[in-house]
Amino acid sequence: MQETILEVNGLNAFYGRAHILFDVDLKVRKGEVVALMGRNGAGKSTTMKAIMGMLSRTQGEVSFMGNAIAKSPPHVISKMGMGFVPEDRRVFTDLTVLENLEVGSQAEREGAPYWTAEKLFELFPNLGEMPHRPGGNMSGGEQQMLTVSRTLMGNPYLVLLDEPSEGVAPVIVEQMANMIMALKKQGLTILLSEQNLQFADLVCDRAYVLENGHVRFEGTMEELDANEDVRRNYLSV
């Protein structure tokens, strides 16, 4: 079995006085694609933001490649080789495609796939056609590709991918699935938050299911597919 790259123990998170995450435990091993599933408001995005150091109030332990990062700010965590793709994309609309990629670029990292703008344009030919277009003048799907590419420019070991299939056209969803599989082949580890079980089945190895900030299920995709109770109680709409 591969070594553990990310380990979260007893993670609690708060927004102001509201307690959002309750003792979340999870593990991601090198080379895996792990799904973080649950309905809207279950705490998927909050978990990712907490891991990435973006929340001001959290408790618990987060270890990334053997380093404790629970108290580290986002830029330090990013420099260690963790990438984050937010669900609302957040491309820099005033910057061109190439400039967006420039913001994300970091030095080459041993043992992680190395990305350049050219390689990303191979992965996303659409982007290659518009290197000088401002991010604001792109379609939702194109922005989604740009935001993933921007994060990959940091040559991460692990990417937190927050709902890449949300709010984009079905054809883009398919491209996203292909992209995730391509990235996995390159050796990238991915923690993917997702509501759509079919999408997760397609690309993920294991899944955690969240409900109201608690982990309710943990297992392989086959186990999740077979567990009707979990799917009915925590996933179906």
Partner 1 sequence: MTLSGLLVQLLNGLVDASSLFLVASGLSLIFGVTRIMNFAHGSFYMLGVYVAYTFVSHMGESVGGFWVAIILSSLMVALLGALIEIVILRRVYRAPELFQLLATFSLVLILQDLALFIWGPEDLFGPRAPGLTGSIEILGRNFPQYNLVMIVIGPAVLGILWLLLNKTRWGVLIRAATQDREMVSTLGVNQAWLFTSVFALGCFLAGLGGALQEPRIPANLALDLESIGTAFVVVVVGGMGSIPGAFLAALLIAEVKALCIALGTIHIFGIDFPMSKMTLVAEFLIMAIILVIRPWGLLGKPQATARNDHSAEPPLRPSLPIFKWCTAALVLALVLVPVFEETFPYAQIILVEIFIAVLFAASLHFVMGPGGMHSFGHAAYFGLGAYGAAILVVTWKLPMELALIAGPLLAVLGALVFGWFSVRLSGVYLAMLTFAFAQIVWSIVYQWDDVTGGSNGIFGVWPSDWLSSTTALYYLTLSIMLAGILILRRILFAPFGLAIRAARDSSLRADAIGVDVKRVQWVAFVVAGLFGGIAGAVYVFSKGGISPEAIGVGRSIDGLVMVLLGGVQTLFGPIVGASIFTWLHDSVARETDYWKAVLGMIILLIVLIFPAGIVGTLSHLWQWIKHHRPLQTKKVEASK
Q: Which residues bind partner 1 (CB under 8 A)?
A: 12, 16, 19, 52, 54, 56, 59, 73-75, 78-79, 84, 86, 90, 92-95, 99-100, 102-104, 106, 150-151, 154
> Would you say 99 and 146 are in contact if contact means Cβ atoms under 8 Å apart?
no
> Residue 228 carries which DSSP code?
H
* Residue number, 193 or 230, with CB nearest to partner 1: 193
* Residue number, 106 or 227, with CB nearest to partner 1: 106
Q: Is the Cα dihedral 231, 158, 55, 85 positive or negative?
A: negative
Q: At what angle are helices 140-152 and 97-104 packed, to 10 degrees?
A: 30
Say whether 207 sits in a helix, a strand or coil.
Answer: strand
Closest CB 20 distance from partner 1, rounded Å: 12
* Residue number, 38 or 104, with CB nearest to partner 1: 104
Closest CB 50 distance from partner 1, rounded Å: 13
* Residue number, 59 or 139, with CB nearest to partner 1: 59
* Residue number, 54 or 65, with CB nearest to partner 1: 54
DSSP code per residue over 135-180? GGGS-HHHHHHHHHHHHHTT--SEEEEE-TTTTS-HHHHHHHHHHH
Closest CB 99 distance from partner 1, rounded Å: 5
Residue 7, token pair as written in the block: 């380990």
Closest CB 100 distance from partner 1, rounded Å: 8
Closest CB 219 distance from partner 1, rounded Å: 26
In 3D space, the residue among 234, 176, 231, 171 whose CA is nearest the CA of residue 204 turns out to be 176
Closest CB 123 distance from partner 1, rounded Å: 18
Q: Provide the phi-psi class of 177: left if phi over 0, else alpha when psi is between -120 and 50, else beta.
A: alpha
